[in-house]
């Protein structure tokens, strides 16, 4: 049945005579579509023989042709040398012994060079070299794309010959004007630089040289000078220590130039039943405090009182009141000549008291005859220089390897003073705040491109030699000075020619090969001069007034004084304590945070947000400083790292943090401040949010006390997990506890890595070494915040939820039913026990990752390594989910050649640091620690070529090689003589999460603390 | 010994030597055996002298015309001593700052032979270089034909089925004799059209066949076996490694030490090419089907090589102006594979030809092996490790023998098939 309903499309249809309706009957649109407008020239279009179909044909054909053509591989060129240097064999690495001396870090190193480019820095162990994270990373700073590539005069580039002509004229003018020539330099500690400067002074006269350390140790040097007559630092050998009392000295950090960790770790080995006792009085949680047997959180001002009381008790035999001091004094007396007191309080008086105490103790740990030259700065002279600059006494100012405009607390003063000096010259490797304000910027080479000498410790001189041709148009500071003094010898020849003057114990060639030589030196009188009035010093130290909020400034293991701020490896290195990257921040105690209303929140994706505060000290105001609530921070104190907040000579991504140098008044690391809450939320990029082990320290980090370790059976403090089998308990190492078939690993090599948690200080050098060796990409702050960090090796840090891990376990056991786990989940804020644990792929013999890979991309090798074939991986990430150790890392993006990740892998210069033996992984694949299989394979191949067995010391991984404390030992357990196979039999040996049954090839050693004394 | 100029520029000198014939016939005192002389010349003199060209020393062609026989003998035997007594000799010594080596070991007859050669080199037909003596040590491995056999079998079964079907149809219809061939075919066709099961089988067959083709095409993507790029210099491995029998590792010297075999730096070329600036008269190489003769090849040395290293052939000195040579890489292993030449050359003791094929017969090098993982693995499976010679294997060998009674193992058994050994 037809319907009579009439459907209409618009009201227009109701209008009977509508032209629109009529038009729409025959056409789709009411108006002509103005195709001519957008097609353009109508005539030529009509004339054209190409129809739309033809056009589509052409498009189709060309697309297909392009696709087909792209199936062919690209033509690759190979360009050999014209004249190959004899010592270079393409594909074989050379090693050169040299030293780093950048004014902040000093170390004897070996540089691995491939085809003429340095790619890795290793400690020169034969002459006692050890490297920290910054030294390890310094090879990347060589390839910094923001380096100075040539010299400039007021912004315009200038050739070296013009520089020489101008300088000659300027220097002669100054000489005739009678004004002074001033040098402001970092600590050189270089005998040959000193010689060059002496020659320069002789020629021009009226030359003043001022050494300036951005992080000053001037107080300690002055104290030493007051007693021993010359400005220097004593050296410390903590391996001889039986009792260490540190008052605010981060002996495992950068205190007095750093490098004390190897000796410290040596005294902490409990194997023969003895180890040193370490008491740390400090306000911030430092590495030293985290490793101490007893840590006492004390405000900076109170540290003075602690020191004064200890002094009084030891030197004047006045008994102390504070129970912690009483204990410390007792321990010091017990330690005899193995006791030592060190302090980081940056006043001359405090340092004098410490020296006096050690003298009274007759401490063998401190050596005042062999001085430590890593810091030589003189704060008084720096102030004097600035004053003289202002009064116009200085005619020309030369600055070498120093950035006072950034690092000086009174940098505005300095900038004013600069204006009063007629000519200012900065020698610098990188562009920085200072180079932008001076007349002449003279580009100097990186230390890996330079010649030099450095005397870090008295009597031991290291040679610095270049490991690459100078990349840019640079000239060494010394070479310039020599030239201007009229000496045209190259600095290399100068060192060689004057080598005989040192009276070295070996030839120049031999010294260059070894990296250092020794010279005999005259003894220093160890007797304290009578002129020092210690009573006055005591008076001053004991009367330090307390302030409501005291700021303790410190340097991070990653950035140090900030001169390598453009180094992405260091920016991404997590702070060992806060586990936060790409930032500095205020560390504050929970009590203070609550009072101020400061919060740390964890967002829904697990990332950390924090409040801002405003920090005031006198006239200096630091706005918007983010805060992290730090367990163990002394109440009423806050911490802030120097070296951040730089703006010049950095890629945008690296401009992070707050510049704390303006608050570093009078070079005092502790300052009285006021704080108030500011608005806004800061986004942190932390890599670890889980702070405690939730009472599972038996599975994760086993700790025990020295007393228990010495007196009780191994089963009591290091039990092997047990499982029921056939109505009885068997250990998981029993073959009946094993579901899997094993293959015979007793023939050939079987690699194991031993990690001694007693020796591990958490310094993070291994993390950077792993970056360098394995081409691990940097992902940037944003991606770290998404927990997409790529570190193959992480150093986990755990706090105890109660005072100690032991009590945490008890808490868990006594947790009432239906009680929340919060009690054991949250870190103790007051003074938790801290433990570090490096975790990398455990190379399980029964690897959970291997059995779940759908494409067999990860599989086990006969030598114990868990292999990862990146090209086979399809990126299901099943393995990462199944890994109980969470050590697998997924490549979410292409990190190389990607502008979104503008780090070293995105520029030609930065790529030169890549290890050619390890592939750069692409997007969508899983990666992880390979146990440096490229290194073990290379060692094996070398032995095969030479037809001999592999020596134990030849097997290394990047991390074990970088470890200065010997915490990581790598080797072949099938070689009964190897160190690692002995460590495997040690009673402290245990496996991480052993009850899972994965049978790892990485094992740990129980952490023993000397607490129960 | 074909392509080196000094050995057979002879033919070019034939005409000029005719001119000396007359002189020769009367100069009895200087009679020598030019053939012997050639040998002696090559052994003792050729490093510094050529017949027609100044090199380190002066050109020696026709030297007997300039100096008399006795003078030459005295000069050759001990020129330093001779200079003291002879003014001419002193003058001659000024030719070059480098003094000539004394040859007291040469007898008068030897010198006569040499001089005879310099004056009239014997004309000798150049023996055509053959490659018979160079055996290919490796042949391309046999292709795996299993798939082909399976397909063949399937075809056979299907044909059999069709035949059976046909017979059944005929039997059922029972009219075998009544129809002629075309009718029979028609009935087969009809039967085929009606048989859905047969359609289904055919569909499966063609799907499988198509898949096989697609897969075999996909598997050869990125396999560049036979890749033979045009190189910037017409360098012939056949002339160098084949005809002149230069050891591979003389030029590719890193192969025994390093992961890369190393493309020789240009200074290695100059070890020989300082003296050899042209090829022999009828040297020919064939690149891409085009034959290049002496003229073209001389240019390669004189223009390309000498420009690259900055060698001034007239002044016999380096100018210092260099121009790197951009060779085209023939063997491009993916960078996710770690391959080490020294492992195979020094430890395993393989000949280069095992993977690179008969390079000594190639004018233009091509990729001989597929460089696929299967190819690597097959060799690892087959190659036995000689554990007796190498000290590294001593302990492993003992352990294997004691525990498993194994005397010989292949590379694969030693872990040569583990992913991580080549992929890291």
**B263-266 long-range contacts, Cβ below 8 Å, gap at least 24?**
B263/A78, B263/A80, B263/B327, B264/A80, B265/A80, B265/A81, B265/A82, B265/A83, B265/A84, B266/A80, B266/A81, B266/A82, B266/A83, B266/B305, B266/B308, B266/B309, B266/B322, B266/B325
**CA-to-CA dists, residue A239 to A269, A364, A365, B54, angstroms:** 10, 10, 8, 73
Q: Are A288 and A262 a contacting pair, CB within 8 Å?
A: no
Choose the closest CB to B332 out of A73, A933, A934.
A73
Tell me, yes or no, whether B126 lies in a domain: no
pLDDT of residue B72: 84
Q: How would you class B413 by CB atoms within 10 Å of its CB: exposed for 0-12, middle for 13-18, buried for 19 or more?
A: middle
Chain A residues touching B222 at Cβ < 8 A = 73
Choose the closest CB to A79 out of B324, B395, B424.
B324
* Closest residue, chain B, to A937 (C-alpha): B421
Q: A760-775 as b/e, with b when 16 or more CB fall inside 10 Å?
A: bbbbbbbbbbbbbbbb
Q: How far is B269 from chain A (nearest CA, A)?
A: 10
- Nearest Cα neighbor of A576 from A557, A602, A559 is A557
**A34-38 long-range contacts, Cβ below 8 Å, gap at least 24?**
none
Count of positions (residues) in chain B: 424
Q: Do A82 and B266 touch (CB under 8 A)?
A: yes
Specify the CATH number for A547-686; select among 3.40.50.720, 2.40.40.20, 2.40.10.120, 1.10.101.10: 2.40.40.20
Q: How would you class B160 by CB atoms within 10 Å of its CB: exposed for 0-12, middle for 13-18, buried for 19 or more?
A: exposed
Model confidence at B31: pLDDT above 70? no
Whether chain B has a CB inside 8 Å of the CB on A867: the answer is yes
Q: How would you class A150 by CB atoms within 10 Å of its CB: exposed for 0-12, middle for 13-18, buried for 19 or more?
A: middle
pLDDT of residue B106: 83
- Cα–Cα dist A413/A519, whole Å: 42
Tell me, yes or no, whether B131 lies in a domain: no
Residue B198 C-beta-side C-alpha neighbours within 13 Å: 18
Q: Do A919 and B424 touch (CB under 8 A)?
A: yes
Task: Give the number of other Cβ atoms within 10 Å of residue A727's Cβ.
Answer: 5
Q: Do B399 and A934 touch (CB under 8 A)?
A: no
Q: How far is B115 from chain A (nearest CA, A)?
A: 37
CA A735-A699-A774 angle, to 5 degrees, is: 90
Chain B residues touching A948 at Cβ < 8 A = 391-392
Q: How far is B340 from chain A (nearest CA, A)?
A: 9
Chain A residues touching B219 at Cβ < 8 A = none
- What does the pLDDT average to over A668-682? 92
Choose the closest CB to B342 out of A81, A859, A941.
A941
The DSSP symbol for B412 reads: I
Where do the structural domains in chain A lie, given as residue ranges?
1-69, 91-214+447-514, 218-372, 547-686, 703-1009
Please state which CATH class domain A703-1009 belongs to.
alpha beta
Percent share of chain A, pLDDT over 70: 98
Residues near B398 by beta carbon (within 8 Å), at least 6 away in sequence:
none
Q: Are A106 and A454 a contacting pair, CB within 8 Å?
A: yes
Task: Give the number of other Cβ atoms within 10 Å of residue B1's Cβ.
Answer: 13
* Closest residue, chain A, to B228 (C-alpha): A75
3-state DSSP assignment of residue B418: coil
Model confidence at A350: pLDDT above 70? yes
Share of chain B residues as helix, strand and coil, in percent rounded to the nearest 5: 55, 5, 45
A814-831 residue pLDDT tens: 888 877 888 888 888 889
Model confidence at B241: pLDDT above 70? yes
* Closest residue, chain B, to A83 (C-alpha): B267
Model confidence at A307: pLDDT above 80? yes
ipTM of the complex as predicted: 0.83
Q: Which superfamily does CATH assign the domain made up of A218-372 to?
A: Dimethylsulfoxide Reductase, domain 2 (3.40.228.10)
Chain A residues touching B395 at Cβ < 8 A = 949
Choose the closest CB to B257 out of A92, A747, A940.
A92
Tell me, yes or no, whether B138 lies in a domain: no
Q: How far is B330 from chain A (nearest CA, A)?
A: 8
Chain B residues touching A83 at Cβ < 8 A = 265-267, 309, 322
Beta-ladder partners of A367? A235
Q: Do A869 and B343 touch (CB under 8 A)?
A: no
- Cα–Cα dist A507/A499, whole Å: 9
Q: How far is B399 from chain A (nearest CA, A)?
A: 7
Select the residue from B217, B420, B421, B423 to test the A interface by mutation, using most A Cβ atoms within 10 A.
Answer: B420
Choose the closest CB to B392 out of A83, A871, A948.
A948
pLDDT of residue B121: 61
Model confidence at B211: pLDDT above 70? yes
Q: Which of residues 97-156 of A touch B (CB under 8 A)?
A: none
Chain A residues touching B262 at Cβ < 8 A = 80, 89-91
- What does the pLDDT average to over A518-542? 75
CA A995-A998-A1000 angle, to 5 degrees, is: 110
pLDDT of residue A655: 92
- Cα–Cα dist A541/A984, whole Å: 49
Whether chain B has a CB inside 8 Å of the CB on A944: the answer is yes
Choose the closest CB to B392 out of A861, A868, A943.
A943
**CA-to-CA dists, residue B6 to A701, B3, B128, B255, B383, angstroms:** 78, 9, 16, 31, 44
Percent share of chain A, pLDDT over 90: 63
A196-253 residue pLDDT tens: 999 999 988 889 999 999 999 999 999 998 888 888 999 999 999 999 999 999 999 9
Q: Do A869 and B420 touch (CB under 8 A)?
A: yes
Q: How would you class B206 by CB atoms within 10 Å of its CB: exposed for 0-12, middle for 13-18, buried for 19 or more?
A: exposed
Torsion of CA B208, B213, B219, B223, to 10 degrees: 170
**CA-to-CA dists, residue B268 to A775, B252, B329, angstroms:** 34, 10, 19
Total CB pairs under 8 A between chain A and B: 155
* Closest residue, chain B, to A930 (C-alpha): B424
Backbone dihedral angles phi then psi of residue B44, each to the nearest 5 degrees: -110, -35
- B55 with B113, same domain? yes
Q: How far is B207 from chain A (nearest CA, A)?
A: 24
The domain in which residue B35 lies consists of: 5-119
Q: How far is A390 from chain B (nearest CA, A)?
A: 53
- Cα–Cα dist A820/A826, whole Å: 11
Q: Which of residues 723-752 of A touch B (CB under 8 A)?
A: 744, 746-748
Q: Do A950 and B257 touch (CB under 8 A)?
A: no
Q: How would you class B2 by CB atoms within 10 Å of its CB: exposed for 0-12, middle for 13-18, buried for 19 or more?
A: buried
Q: A18-35 as b/e, with b when 16 or more CB fall inside 10 Å?
A: eeebeebeeeeeeeeeee
A238-285 residue pLDDT tens: 999 999 999 999 999 999 988 899 999 999 999 888 899 999 999 999
Q: How far is A80 from chain B (nearest CA, A)?
A: 5
Choose the closest CB to B258 out of A92, A867, A948.
A92
Two structure tokens written together for A377? 């700065």
- Cα–Cα dist A610/A608, whole Å: 7
Whether chain B has a CB inside 8 Å of the CB on A67: the answer is no
pLDDT of residue A527: 58
Select the residue from B220, B253, B392 to test the A interface by mutation, using most A Cβ atoms within 10 A.
Answer: B392
Q: Which of residues 193-232 of A touch B (CB under 8 A)?
A: none
- Cα–Cα dist A81/B267, whole Å: 8
* Closest residue, chain B, to A71 (C-alpha): B221
Backbone dihedral angles phi then psi of residue B187, each to the nearest 5 degrees: -70, -35
- What does the pLDDT average to over A433-442? 92
Choose the closest CB to A949 out of B222, B322, B391.
B391
Tell me, yes or no, whether B228 lies in a domain: no
B110-154 residue pLDDT tens: 888 888 888 776 554 444 444 444 444 444 445 567 888 999 999
Backbone dihedral angles phi then psi of residue B253, each to the nearest 5 degrees: -75, -20
- Cα–Cα dist B58/B71, whole Å: 16
CATH of the domain at B108: 1.10.760.10
* Closest residue, chain B, to A921 (C-alpha): B336
Count of positions (residues) in chain A: 1013
Chain B residues touching A867 at Cβ < 8 A = 418-421, 423-424
Chain A residues touching B370 at Cβ < 8 A = none
Model confidence at B155: pLDDT above 90? yes
Q: Do A859 and B418 touch (CB under 8 A)?
A: yes
- What does the pLDDT average to over A979-987? 92
pLDDT of residue A522: 67
- B11 with B114, same domain? yes
The DSSP symbol for B410 reads: B
A23-76 residue pLDDT tens: 877 888 878 777 777 776 777 777 777 778 888 988 999 988 887 776 667 888
Last-in-domain residue among B57, B84, B119: B119
Model confidence at A876: pLDDT above 60? yes
Share of chain A residues as helix, strand and coil, in percent rounded to the nearest 5: 35, 20, 45
Q: How far is B282 from chain A (nearest CA, A)?
A: 30
In chain B, the number of structural domains is: 4
- What does the pLDDT average to over B404-421? 85
Q: How confident is the model at residue A537 (pLDDT cuts 50, 70, 90)?
A: confident
- B324 with B246, same domain? yes
Q: Which of A811-815, B39-43, B298-302 has the lowest mean pLDDT?
A: B39-43
Tell me, yes or no, whether B229 lies in a domain: no
**CA-to-CA dists, residue A728 to A503, A737, A815, angstroms:** 73, 12, 28
Q: Which of A3-7, A303-307, A978-982, B349-353 has the lowest mean pLDDT?
A: A3-7
């Amino acid at each position: 049945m037809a319907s009579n309903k009439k459907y209409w499309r618009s009201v227009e249809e109701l209008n009977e005579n509508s032209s629109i309706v009529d038009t729409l009957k025959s056409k789709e649109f009411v108006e002509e579509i103005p195709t001519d407008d957008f097609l353009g020239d109508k005539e030529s279009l009509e004339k054209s023989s190409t129809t739309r179909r033809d056009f589509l044909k052409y498009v189709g054909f060309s697309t297909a042709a392009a696709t087909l053509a792209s199936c062919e591989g690209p033509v690759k060129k190979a360009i050999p040398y014209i004249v190959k240097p004899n010592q270079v064999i393409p594909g074989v690495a050379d090693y050169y012994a040299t030293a780093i001396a950048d004014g902040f870090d000093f170390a004897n190193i070996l540089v691995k060079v491939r085809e003429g480019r340095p790619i890795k820095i290793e400690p020169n162990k034969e002459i006692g070299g050890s490297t920290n994270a910054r030294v390890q990373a310094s090879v990347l700073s060589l390839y910094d794309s923001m380096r100075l590539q040539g010299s400039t005069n007021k912004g315009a580039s200038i050739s070296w010959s013009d520089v020489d002509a101008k300088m000659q004229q300027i220097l002669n003018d100054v000489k005739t004007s009678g004004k002074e020539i001033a040098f402001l330099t970092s600590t050189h500690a270089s005998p040959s630089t000193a010689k060059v400067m002496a020659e320069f002074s002789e020629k021009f006269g009226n030359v003043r040289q001022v050494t300036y350390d951005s992080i000053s140790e001037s107080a300690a040097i002055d104290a030493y000078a007051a007693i021993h007559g010359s400005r220097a630092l004593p050296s410390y050998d903590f391996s001889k220590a039986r009792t260490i009392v540190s008052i605010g000295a981060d002996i495992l950090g950068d205190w007095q130039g750093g490098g004390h960790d190897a000796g410290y770790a040596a005294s902490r080995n409990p194997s023969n039943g003895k180890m040193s006792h370490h008491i740390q009085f400090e306000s911030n949680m430092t590495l030293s405090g985290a490793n101490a047997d007893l840590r006492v959180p004390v405000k900076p001002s109170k540290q003075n009182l602690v020191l004064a009381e200890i002094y009084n008790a030891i030197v004047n035999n006045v008994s102390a009141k504070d129970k912690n001091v009483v204990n410390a004094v007792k321990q010091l007396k017990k330690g005899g000549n193995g006791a030592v007191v060190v302090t980081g309080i940056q006043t001359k008086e405090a340092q004098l008291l410490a020296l006096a105490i050690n003298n009274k103790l007759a401490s063998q740990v401190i050596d005042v005859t062999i001085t430590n030259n890593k810091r030589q700065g003189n704060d008084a002279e720096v102030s004097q220089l600035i004053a003289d600059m202002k009064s116009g006494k200085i005619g020309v100012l030369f600055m070498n390897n120093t950035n006072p405009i950034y690092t000086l607390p009174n940098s505005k003063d300095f900038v004013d003073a600069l204006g009063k000096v007629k000519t200012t010259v900065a020698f610098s490797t990188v562009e920085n705040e200072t180079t932008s304000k001076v007349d002449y910027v003279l580009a100097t080479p990186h230390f890996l491109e330079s010649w030099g000498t450095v005397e870090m410790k008295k009597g031991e001189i290291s040679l610095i030699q270049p490991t690459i041709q100078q990349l840019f148009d640079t000239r060494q500071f010394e070479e310039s000075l020599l030239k201007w003094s009229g000496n045209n010898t190259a600095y290399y020849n100068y060192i060689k020619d004057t080598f005989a003057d040192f009276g070295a114990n070996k030839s120049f060639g031999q010294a260059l090969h070894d990296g250092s030589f020794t010279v005999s030196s005259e003894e220093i009188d160890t007797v304290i001069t009578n002129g020092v009035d210690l009573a006055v010093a005591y008076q001053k130290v004991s009367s330090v007034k307390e302030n409501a909020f005291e700021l303790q400034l410190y340097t991070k293991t990653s950035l140090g004084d900030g001169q390598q701020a453009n180094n992405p490896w260091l920016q991404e290195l997590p702070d060992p304590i806060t586990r936060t990257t790409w930032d500095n921040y205020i560390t504050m105690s929970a009590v203070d945070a609550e009072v101020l209303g400061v919060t740390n929140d964890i967002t829904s994706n697990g990332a950390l947000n924090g409040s801002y505060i405003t920090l005031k000290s006198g006239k200096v105001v630091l706005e918007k400083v983010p805060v992290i609530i730090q367990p163990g921070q002394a109440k009423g104190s806050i911490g802030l790292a120097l070296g951040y907040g730089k703006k010049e000579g950095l890629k945008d991504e690296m401009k992070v943090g707050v510049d704390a140098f303006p608050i570093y008044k009078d070079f005092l690391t502790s300052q009285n401040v006021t704080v108030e809450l500011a608005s806004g939320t800061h986004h942190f990029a932390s890599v670890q949010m889980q702070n405690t082990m939730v009472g599972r320290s038996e599975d994760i980090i086993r700790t025990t006390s020295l007393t228990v370790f010495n007196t009780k059976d191994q089963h009591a403090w290091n039990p092997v997990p047990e499982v029921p089998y056939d109505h009885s308990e068997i250990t998981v190492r029993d073959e009946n506890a094993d579901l899997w078939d094993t293959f015979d690993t007793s023939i050939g090599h079987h690699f194991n890595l031993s990690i001694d948690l007693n020796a591990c200080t958490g310094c993070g050098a291994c993390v950077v070494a792993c970056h360098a060796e394995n081409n691990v990409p940097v992902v940037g702050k944003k991606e770290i915040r998404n927990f997409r960090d790529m570190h193959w090796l992480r150093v986990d840090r755990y706090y105890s939820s109660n005072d100690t891990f032991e009590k945490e376990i008890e808490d868990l056991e006594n947790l009432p039913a239906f009680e929340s786990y919060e009690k054991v989940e949250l870190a103790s804020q007051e003074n938790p026990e801290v433990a570090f644990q490096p975790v990398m792929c455990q190379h399980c013999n029964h690897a959970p990752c291997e059995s779940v890979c759908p494409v067999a991309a990860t599989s086990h090798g006969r030598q114990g390594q868990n292999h990862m074939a990146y090209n086979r991986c399809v990126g299901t990430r099943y393995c990462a989910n199944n890994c109980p150790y969470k050590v697998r890392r997924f490549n979410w993006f292409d990190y190389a050649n990607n502008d979104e990740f503008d780090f070293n892998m995105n520029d030609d210069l930065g790529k030169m640091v890549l290890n050619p033996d390890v592939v750069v992984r692409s997007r969508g694949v899983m990666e992880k620690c390979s146990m440096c299989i490229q290194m073990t394979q290379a060692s094996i191949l070398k032995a095969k070529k030479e037809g001999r067995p592999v020596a134990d010391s030849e097997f290394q991984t990047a991390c074990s090689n970088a470890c200065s404390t010997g915490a990581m030992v790598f080797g072949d357990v099938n070689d009964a003589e190897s160190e690692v196979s002995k460590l495997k039999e040690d009673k402290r040996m245990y496996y991480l999460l052993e009850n899972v049954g994965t049978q790892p090839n990485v094992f740990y050693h129980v952490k023993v603390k000397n607490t129960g004394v | 010994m074909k392509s080196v100029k000094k050995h057979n520029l002879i033919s070019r000198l034939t005409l000029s030597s005719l001119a000396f014939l007359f002189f020769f016939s009367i100069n009895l005192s200087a009679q020598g055996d030019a053939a012997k002389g050639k040998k002696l010349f090559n052994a003792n003199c050729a490093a510094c002298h050529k017949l027609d060209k100044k090199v380190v020393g002066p050109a020696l062609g026709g030297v007997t015309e300039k100096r008399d026989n006795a003078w030459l003998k005295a000069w050759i035997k001990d020129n330093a001593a001779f200079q003291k007594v002879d003014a001419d000799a002193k003058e001659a010594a000024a030719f070059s700052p480098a003094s000539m080596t004394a040859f007291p070991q040469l007898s008068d007859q030897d010198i006569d032979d040499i001089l005879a050669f310099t004056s009239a080199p014997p004309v000798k037909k150049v023996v055509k270089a053959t490659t018979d003596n160079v055996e290919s040590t490796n042949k391309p491995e046999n292709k795996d034909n299993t798939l082909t056999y399976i397909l063949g079998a399937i075809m056979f079964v299907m044909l059999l089925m069709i035949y059976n079907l046909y017979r059944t149809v005929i039997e059922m219809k029972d009219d075998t004799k009544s129809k002629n061939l075309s009718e029979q075919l028609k009935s087969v066709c009809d039967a085929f059209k009606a048989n859905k099961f047969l359609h289904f089988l055919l569909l499966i067959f063609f799907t499988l066949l198509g898949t096989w083709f697609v897969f075999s095409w996909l598997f050869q993507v990125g396999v560049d076996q036979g890749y033979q790029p045009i190189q910037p210099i017409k360098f012939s491995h056949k002339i160098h490694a084949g005809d002149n029998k230069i050891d591979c590792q003389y030029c590719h010297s890193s192969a025994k030490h390093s992961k890369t075999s190393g493309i020789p730096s240009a200074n290695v070329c100059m070890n020989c090419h300082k003296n050899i600036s042209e090829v022999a008269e009828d040297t020919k190489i064939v690149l891409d089907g085009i034959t290049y003769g002496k003229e073209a090849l001389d240019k390669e040395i004189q223009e390309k090589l000498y420009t690259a290293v900055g060698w001034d052939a007239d002044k016999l000195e380096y100018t210092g102006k260099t121009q790197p040579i951009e060779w085209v890489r023939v063997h491009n292993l993916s960078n996710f594979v770690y391959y080490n030449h020294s492992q195979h050359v020094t430890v395993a003791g393989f000949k280069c030809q095992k993977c690179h094929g008969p390079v000594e017969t190639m004018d233009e090098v091509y990729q001989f092996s597929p460089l696929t993982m299967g190819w690597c693995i097959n060799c690892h499976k087959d190659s036995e490790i000689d554990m007796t010679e190498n000290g590294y294997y001593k302990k492993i060998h003992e352990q294997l023998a004691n525990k498993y009674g194994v005397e010989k193992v292949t590379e694969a058994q030693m872990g040569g098939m583990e992913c991580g050994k080549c992929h890291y």
